[in-house]
Amino acid sequence: MTLACFLDRDGTLNQEKGYIRNVDDLALIEGAAHAVKRLNDAGVLAILTTNQTGAARGFYDEAHIQALHNRLEQLLWDEAEAKLDAIFYCPHYPRGVVEQYATECTCRKPAIAMITQACEAFPAIELAQSVVMGDKASDIELAHNAGCQSVLLKTGYGQAVLDGRYQSLTHQPTWVCDDVLAGVETFLAPAKASLLS
């Protein structure tokens, strides 16, 4: 059995800055690299699952999304020798202006195709004991739909979600934490020790 932590990107690992058009503007949230390193050291898969509608909206192409992810991975490694085990993203948006991406899909959170793809890549993942972490209600709904536990982070849009000012929670998260490092520490608490041994 393998545990996975399905991590959102913007507002979770890197600072929420809207649509990042300049790759160099991507900056980590404090503690994010050490959070991913904790997952690495615990043998928990660190898997990025992120909606990236910038391509559908015509702001940039998929190559730019890849460049952002390359920078994210480099920053994680440089700060803590932390690494993501896999990256999955959804470029679609039904009301987008770029035809190839302006479509309904099964990968845009809270739909579960990105987690399904992760399970195909890592068949030993035990979803019921795994976790989705993010700053939006859609991350919590993704967890519910996939049968995972969930952490709503107060970074990014998280506090606005909790205050009822952004999106609406249909299901309550398993935990609410200040940031991704606190979320990882909570997930890896002693109660998980037997599962990780």
Q: Just list the catalytic residues.
A: 8, 10
Give the count of beta carbons closer than 10 Å to the beta carbon of residue 81.
11
Cβ within 8 Å of residue 22, ≥6 positions away: none
Cα–Cα distance for residue pair 92/87, rounded to 1 Å: 16
Give the count of beta carbons closer than 10 Å to the beta carbon of residue 118.
24
Name the residue among 194, 193, 196, 191 with its Cα closest to residue 174.
191
Does the N-terminal peptide bond of residue 91 adopt cis geometry, omega within 30 degrees of 0?
Answer: no
Q: Phi, psi at residue 134, to the nearest 5°?
A: -170, 180
